[in-house]
Structure 1
Amino acid sequence: MALSESKKLSEVATWLREADGLLVTAGAGMGVDSGLPDFRGREGFWRAYPALKLSNMNFEDIASPAAIRRMPTLGWGFYGHRLELYRRTTPHVGFEILRRWAEHMEHGLFVFTSNVDGQFQKAGYPEDRVVECHGSIHHLQCSECCSRDIWAADGVRPVVDEKTCRLVSELPTCPRCGAIARPNILMFEDGDWIDDRAEQQRARLDRWLQGVFRPVVIELGAGRAIPTVRLMSERNGPHVIRINPREHRIAPHLGLGIAGEALETLRQTDTALFRT
């Protein structure tokens, strides 16, 4: 017999009290409550970038190394707009709720996210406790891969014409060879992504997991289309809490699913944790 939502929240509260470490796994749905777009479907993407609808370009077309090379001002118009959007965005209070839970656990928390927005670090999470499995928009690499250098994008201040989605400021370039720089992000059809930084992050997570004996996994807004985050969660069951408004189902031997948005469900769980 399926558990009611209140029973699920009570079970989650028990798991959290007994855990010695919290693994937070997060997809695009984690940022929606902060006001970030999740590009769900072509129409969702075009609502965020109407200029690209006029060119009949979808997310996969523009989020690619080929777009950066062939149409650099358009490619950097898209990524430059995203970079500035993420810099302006304030993480919602759900980030703080998770941190507060982990403060009472022996090994604290670790984050595994497919998001490239840097919101966990902006919310105060330590850099060495975050895995960005698809890279970070706040770091750059050479589009021609002249080296394996990865550097911070702090000095890049893109100015974008939102009507055309084109960069009107200077294109970022590689300091080593002068070629156009690109975000250190795993794009579509991307054989050039330099994953050294992500691999170092993953090695730190693996070491942390070796010392955690009673982990709880909180998965937030991770869909099935690209299942990297969901697979990471399931590898670290059986206490996985999958929070997702539509795709929340999970095998009972791995955990339990809660249909809901990230922030509201975290608030409800927080209430249950202190009530029981």
Structure 2
Amino acid sequence: MSTAPPTPATPTGRSTPSIEQQLTQAAEWIASADGLLIAAGAGIGIDSGLPDFRGKAGFWRAYPALKKGRLPFDRIASPDAFRRLPSTAWGFYGHRLNLYRATQPHAGFALLRTWGARMPHGCFVYTSNVDGQFHKAGFPESRIVECHGSIHRLQCVTDCAGHLWSAANFHPQVHEATCQLQSELPRCPHCGALARPNILLFNDGHWNDLWTERQHMLLDAWLGSTPPPLVIEIGAGRAIATVRHFSQRMQQRGSRLIRINPDDARVNNAHAIELSLGARDALEQINALLV
């Protein structure tokens, strides 16, 4: 009779479960959870066709015109870029706005929404993504925290009156070869100054976080009304670790964690599952095990 090979041991002596064992455990945790908290970074969007900005090479591969100008992500995604190079800054963000509007969320989003709908306390989303993909996938606005803001809202570059407004009426025309906005620059309806995305930029002293703070209040109210929810963290990296730090705080409050990341799924925690898979692949494999 053949037997399965033994589970390998880590240097500390703790055995490392196989990917099949971890997927099975993840399905069991989801089936028994009272509530679901989805913590999502940029990696969740890759399977929808969104670009990966990791490192200068990845960013400049997506935006070669910015490579010619030696403009890395942290320089173009800054208030200074809107002051000095407004047509270039809005060329970059206008292209992204058009891309996000045209992109459809992959099937994994629908699976997450279905799982959460089955749970007594439902689900909540905490994401550093500014693309609005969770809204497009049907998650209610009242159950989403966009911790870095949203490209679908605008604000004044100086936050003159503290107001936010929808970007729905802004339709940027961008010359992609040069990353320049060719249509009119958006303007603040209160003072006439340049408008910018309501996104937390690098070295940003004028980000209006009013909307995001309201979202945080809704999340806090939900967390106060439910037992520690199961956290599924997807595509969150260490370079800008906001989502990872959030997941760690939730674990300290008693939540189990399923981390999905093809490049760095390490948790080193007995109350966590590490899945070194892409977002859609992991979610579909888990779903196939749910009964």
Q: Give the structure-2-normalised TM-score.
A: 0.92
Letter in 1 for 2:26: V
Post-superposition Cα deviations, 1:165-222, rounded to whole Å, max 9, x if no partner, equal 0000000000000000000000011111010100100110011011121411110000
> In the TM superposition, what is the alpha-carbon distance from 1:112 to its structure 2 partner?
0.1
Give the 3 Å change call, closer, same or farther, for CA 95–33 of structure 1 in structure 2. Answer: same
SS across alignment from 1:117: coil
2:25 match: 11
Q: Is the 8 A contact 1:113 1:131 kept in 2?
A: yes
Correspondent of 1:139 among 135, 153, 161: 153
Q: Is the 8 A contact 1:116 1:134 kept in 2?
A: yes
SS across alignment from 1:252: coil
> How many angstroms apart in 1 are the aligned matches of 2:281 and 2:32?
23
> How many angstroms apart in 2 are the aligned matches of 1:217 and 1:251?
16
> How many angstroms apart in 1 are the aligned matches of 2:54 and 2:45?
13
> In the TM superposition, what is the alpha-carbon distance from 1:47 to its structure 2 partner?
1.1
Letter in 2 for 1:115: N
Correspondent of 1:172 among 186, 208, 230: 186
1:64 match: 78
SS across alignment from 2:118: coil
2:262 match: 245
**How well do the aligned residues superpose, as a CA RMSD in angstroms?**
0.9
Alignment of 1:55-134 (within 5 A): 55-134=69-148
> How many angstroms apart in 2 are the aligned matches of 1:212 and 1:71?
47
Correspondent of 2:284 among 263, 267, 271: 267
> How many angstroms apart in 1 are the aligned matches of 2:21 and 2:226?
26
SS across alignment from 2:267: coil
2:7 match: none
> In the TM superposition, what is the alpha-carbon distance from 1:254 to its structure 2 partner?
4.0
Letter in 1 for 2:84: R
2:12 match: none
SS across alignment from 2:198: strand
Does 2:78 match 1:51?
no
> In the TM superposition, what is the alpha-carbon distance from 1:251 to its structure 2 partner?
2.6
Unaligned runs of 5+ in 1: none
1:231 match: 245
Q: Is the 8 A contact 1:18 1:214 kept in 2?
A: no
> How many angstroms apart in 1 are the aligned matches of 2:228 and 2:25?
15
Letter in 1 for 2:288: T
> How many angstroms apart in 1 are the aligned matches of 2:250 and 2:74?
30
Q: Which moved more, 1:68-77 or 1:248-257?
A: 248-257
Q: Give the structure-1-normalised TM-score.
A: 0.97
> How many angstroms apart in 1 are the aligned matches of 2:36 and 2:57?
35
> How many angstroms apart in 2 are the aligned matches of 1:254 and 1:229?
18
> How many angstroms apart in 2 are the aligned matches of 1:253 and 1:130?
28
Does 2:209 match 1:195?
yes
Q: Which moved more, 1:38-47 or 1:116-125?
A: 38-47
Letter in 2 for 1:80: G
> How many angstroms apart in 2 are the aligned matches of 1:117 and 1:44?
18
Letter in 1 for 2:180: R
Q: Which 4+ stretches in 1 moved above 4 angstroms?
A: none
Query: Number of paired residues?
Result: 274
Q: Is the 8 A contact 1:51 1:164 kept in 2?
A: yes
Does 2:166 match 1:149?
no
Post-superposition Cα deviations, 1:128-179, rounded to whole Å, max 9, x if no partner, equal 1000000000000000221110111000000000111000000000000000
Identity of aligned residues (%): 55
Q: Which moved more, 1:231-240 or 1:40-49?
A: 231-240
Q: Name the larger-Rg structure.
A: 2
